Amino acid sequence: MAPVEGGEEGHQSADEREQSQPRAALVVHGLVDGEHDGLDVRGGHVLCVVAMSLARTSATPDDAHRADREPVEVTSMFSRATSYTVSQSSSMASAGKEEQVSATPTVDAGQARALLSSGGGGHAYLDVRLPVDFDKDHAAGAVNVPYYLAVTPQGKEKNPKFLEEVGARYGKEQHLVVACRTGVRSKLATADLVNAGYKNARSLQGGYVAFLQSAAADQQPAPQ
């Protein structure tokens, strides 16, 4: 018997109706199950929006039942995708910073002393230690611009005006010997300076400790 015109949809089974629905929501479920780990997370974001839209506009009772369930699953997927994106971005930024710091230009203590003593103001000693440490002892002619405002067992507070304060004292063509106590903090400071356009900034290897040791070694009497 010929099907009644206009009544086919009403006689479809639940399986047939589900098969006729767009597959976006099912693809999203695949992403949740990790079946498409190679896909760009931004693609998951688009599928999430499409799937939620389909779920909310379902017209049949069965589809309405899925609408109560699917937005939760899709939202969960979206939260996981967002978390993954933020985590990946943070990891990439951290790795990029470490690589940048490891490539920071440096100068050893003997070379730094020679450059600073050459006269003419061609090189300047930028001490990035805390003011309290700088006031105790520092290289002759050094200028103090702290990279951190505080260093405690709970953490370190970076000086938000570090670049601004350096810029108030030196032009970007200035040759800078950047130093802290042992050469760790100065590498971070130098990396920031180089990124800001101070292409002639160099981190002092071993910091002020190495600087003093180099000076002391030069003062030792020559062996007889």
Give the active site residues.
Answer: 180
Query: Cα-flanking dihedrals φ and ψ of residue 68, to 5°?
Result: -70, -25
How far is the CA of 223 from the CAs of 33, 110, 220, in angstroms? 74, 20, 9
How far the first Cα of the chain sits from its last, in Å, is 121
* Cα distance between residue 14 and residue 20, in whole Å: 10
181 close to 94: Cβ distance less than 8 angstroms: no
Least Cα distance to 162 among 194, 193, 125 occurs for 193
Question: In the 8-state DSSP scheme, what is residue 108?
Answer: -
8 A C-beta contact, residue 177 and residue 126: yes
Which tokens in the block code for residue 32? 């949740």
Nearest in space to 200 (alpha carbons), one of 173, 179, 178? 173
**Residue 183 in 3-state DSSP?**
coil
Sheet of 123-127: strands edge to edge? 106-107, 201-204, 175-179, 123-127, 143-144
